[in-house]
Amino acid sequence: MDAEYIKSQVRDIVDFPTKGVIFKDLTTVFKKPDALRMVSDELYERYKNAGITKVVGVESRGFILASIVAYKLNAGFVPIRKPGKLPALTWSESYKKEYGYDTIEIHQDAITSDDVILLHDDVLATGGTMVAAYHLLQGFHPKHIYINFLTEIVMLDGRKEFPEGVEIDSLIKL
């Protein structure tokens, strides 16, 4: 994967979703077939021998690569969504984001204790969303949880929010 090329495709949106935030827009990566193929193939290569049974994507941009990688790994795809979007019984977790508060949910029957999970989202910023997602998944007592991001905003140091020993990987660092 050409990390510099992928970095060059990321678009900054100033003051989105609120004033003072510089949003890393990855739709500019996803719309280019070669860039999408590169990041999808790289994720597959990193996890093809990890025994992944479920790839969990966080709403909404995390769904894009998570579903592609689930397909490539012959694993199931599980969405983590905002409240009220999943039709069956859910577990929820609330958390603080860099620009407010939010809650995420997962179906209560989405994961089993036999699962090996790849938890994916597009950007690691302050870590709030993915730490909440990680806590939701821990409640299922899966065999293992890998955490992956397409991009990581290093200066925000979101890794520090995760418990020690959690495996976190990002394809590119910004």
Catalytic positions, written as ranges = 61, 98
φ and ψ at 67, to 5 degrees? -70, -40
Phi-psi label, residue 92: left if phi above 0, alpha if psi -120 to 50, beta otherwise? beta
Residue that the structure tokens 């989405």 belong to:
110
Between CA 84 and CA 113 the distance in angstroms is 25
What DSSP string runs through 4-51?
HHHHHH-EEEET-SSTT-EEEE-HHHHTSHHHHHHHHHHHHHHHTTTT
